[in-house]
Homo-oligomer: A and B are copies of this chain.
Amino acid sequence: MPLGKYIEEADASPEVRAVYDDIKQTRGTDWINNFWKMIANDPKTLKRTWEDLKEIMAPGALDPLTKELVYLAVSITNGCEYCTVSHTAAARKAGMTKEMREELIAVIGMANNTNRLVNAYRVDSDPKFIEAASTL
């Protein structure tokens, strides 16, 4: 059971409604998903989270699909169910095919595996990698 009430558009304050309107316009939809309707209980967090997300997920040096795949990888690693469902849907809308999803999941599983092999042996970073990684 959710720990709060969903704020429907009809019941939203002007402040909340303004964010809902921007979400709908930005996404070209007339539908608000549960995440926003729940965090609307805290209008400041609603506004801040939406503005951050809009800026971060906009197409840039990385395309929207790549960003959704990364979002999904983090959500799966953390075990967040809502996030996994919603970002699987979003990634699909952004063009993720069945084959892409399969490869994505395989990479996520493998990374979580080798992260622990490294933890077990406390492997030292290779100077060559440190140099390449720190001079980007």
Chain A residues packing against B (C-beta within 8 Å): 1-5, 31, 33-35, 38-39, 41-42, 44-45, 48-49, 52-53, 55-57, 60-62, 66-67, 69-71, 73-86, 88-89, 92-93, 96-126, 128-130, 132-134, 136
Nearest B residue (CB) for A87? B111
**In contact, A53 and B1 (Cβ under 8 angstroms):** no
The 10 closest A-B pairs by CB, nearest first: A61-B99, A74-B111, A88-B133, A42-B102, A89-B132, A113-B113, A89-B129, A109-B113, A80-B115, A85-B125
Interface SS of chain A: helix
A80 to B115, CA, bound (A): 6
